[in-house]
Amino acid sequence: CRRITKMSVLQQISPHVKNIKPLDYALLTKRANQIKEELRQGVKKPYKQLLDLTWGDSHRTGVKPLSFVRQVLAACLYPELLNSDKLPMDVKQRAKRLLGICGGGSIGSYTATAGIPEVLHRIAEFLTRRDCGAPSYPKNIFISPGCQWSLMVTNILKVLVNSEASPRIGVLTPVPCYPTTTQSIMGLGGVVVPYHLSEKQGWELQIEELHRALESAKGVCNPFALYVINPGNPSGNVQSRKSIEEVIKFASEKRLFLLADEIYQDLVYGEKSEFISYKRVLTEMGPPFSNTVELASFHSISKGFTGECGLRGGYVELVNLDPAVMKHIYKLFSKDICAPVLGQIALELMVNPPQPGDPSSPLYKMETQYIKASLTQNVKRLHDVVNSLPGFCCQPVQGGGFAFPRLNLPTPAIQKAKRAGMQPDTFYSIKLLEDAGVLVTPGCDYGQKEGTHHVRFGIMTSKDIMEEVLKRLTNFHTRFMKDFS
């Protein structure tokens, strides 16, 4: 009887869910957790501590939260603090104002499902400022518990990807790409149509490749949306205005819905690089582009200087959507209660930081500049060290939270990996973890050109941790290459 009941469940599982492959990352974290436990129990290893660069999670790896953000949030949570003389005046004023826009004056209340209206207004103001006057409207902005939610599970792809469409809906997706995106497209019954970024051009997006990808979808699916990540994860590329214009023209010509993941917009390191938003370029291109190309652009508090992954807060701005479609998106958001209120408040603080003259301004400026300087140095150091190692080649990291260097592994290493039933870069990553206590993610989880191998390093970490990682990596890699030469 038991057996039959269980089987009945399994038979029902959606094939879209069944088809999602687990990541090699899961294998690595499992082993990492065992190693942590072994270290705790005093097992002797060549290192005392695991260094984990797999996350895009700056606080985890030693970057300090912004004092202004934490002070305002603490005062909102525990309003007794408004009477304290330990908090700056502008912190208390901000907290009071923000509590005033919460239901019943408590961050414990639900909010409107798209987000607190005043926060949506602030975001729209920020976007208009950021995009040099390109107008933004609160009614087109939806707050959600982080961008992955907003993009995927929640509502945008859910509206777009009709799992029963025949042929299936396709989404053009970069290679390499953050895997939750591809998994979610598949989980919703969509088809991932890969386009390759050009590694030797610093992971540039190339229009000919978009054409090729679109062609490849013929007879397979109905390509409907084009997903771009700028600055790139894991690529580290930052698109130029010209590149964005080309993508918009392509989307317009092929009638593709543009999904622009722009959550790393604050993190640009390259001296000649500048973040320009899709929304801005689209607006400045004028008609027919500016009033026809459908665009969803995503941003979040998890990255950049705020780095508050744990609070869960992101938003999407929708441009040029038909009101009939907007109606369905509203409906889906309504079904989903609301995003965490402290995440919404942190969004407000991110788009509306202390201004010159405010008591919190000098410290805020110092802290953000310090983070920027640290990450810029991390990127430079990682790039230089990795490129100094044999068989390792890192493109310039112009922006974002990661570097994705290529690993030219010796044939014996590749053969050994194959015998162990592993992807070569997973094999490398597991050895790096075992021998040097450094946790990175293998390129196979992100997609890569057949026959090439990579690893992804998170760069949002303190300078000290980065130096220690580079020291261990250098020793490990040198030995590894010798062992397998």
| Residues in 118-147 at the binding interface with its own copies, rule: CB under 8 A | 145-146
Site for its own copies in 396-435 (CB under 8 A): none
The correct pick among 134, 226, 311, 403 for binding its own copies (CB under 8 A) is: 311
Q: How far apart are CA 457 and CA 234, in angstroms?
A: 9
The correct pick among 34, 46, 110, 139 for binding its own copies (CB under 8 A) is: 110
In 3D, which of 310, 341, 312, 308 has the Cα closest to residue 107? Answer: 341
Q: Which is nearer to its own copies, 154 or 237 (CB)?
A: 154
Q: How far apart are CA 421 and CA 18, in angstroms?
A: 22
DSSP class of residue 166 equals: S
In 3D, which of 277, 285, 250 has the Cα closest to residue 399? Answer: 277
Of 92-100, 331-339, 423-431, 435-443, which segment contacts its own copies by CB under 8 A?
Answer: 331-339
The correct pick among 48, 322, 411, 450 for binding its own copies (CB under 8 A) is: 322
Pattern 271-310, its own copies, x by CB under 8 A? -----------------x--xxxx------------xxxx
Q: Which is nearer to its own copies, 93 or 180 (CB)?
A: 180
Site for its own copies in 150-209 (CB under 8 A): 152-154, 158-165, 169, 180, 183-184, 187, 189
Site for its own copies in 216-255 (CB under 8 A): 224, 255
> Does residue number 337 form part of the binding site for its own copies (CB under 8 A)?
yes
Q: How far apart are CA 54 and CA 70, in angstroms?
A: 25
> Does residue number 352 form part of the binding site for its own copies (CB under 8 A)?
no
The helix (H) or strand (E) run that includes residue 147 is: helix 147-148
Contacts of 43 (CB under 8 A, 6+ apart): none
> Does residue number 368 form part of the binding site for its own copies (CB under 8 A)?
no
Q: Which is nearer to its own copies, 200 or 324 (CB)?
A: 324
DSSP class of residue 236 equals: -
Of 79-87, 196-204, 233-241, 474-482, which segment contacts its own copies by CB under 8 A?
Answer: 79-87
Contact status, residue 424 vs residue 409, Cβ threshold 8 Å: yes
> Does residue number 80 form part of the binding site for its own copies (CB under 8 A)?
yes
Helices (H), 198-300: 207-216, 241-254, 278-285
Q: How far apart are CA 113 and CA 3, in angstroms?
A: 42
Distances (CA, A) of 75 to 87, 88, 102, 148, 322: 9, 11, 13, 28, 41
Q: How far apart are CA 44 and CA 47, in angstroms?
A: 8
Q: Which is nearer to its own copies, 22 or 356 (CB)?
A: 22
User: Smallest distance from the beta carbon of 61 to its own copies, in angstroms?
Assistant: 6
Identify each DSSP E strand in 101-238 by its residue range: 141-144, 169-175, 191-196, 222-229
Of 21-29, 123-131, 362-370, 442-450, which segment contacts its own copies by CB under 8 A?
Answer: 21-29
Pattern 52-71, its own copies, x by CB under 8 A? ---x-xxxxxx--x----xx
> Does residue number 73 form part of the binding site for its own copies (CB under 8 A)?
yes
> Does residue number 14 form part of the binding site for its own copies (CB under 8 A)?
yes
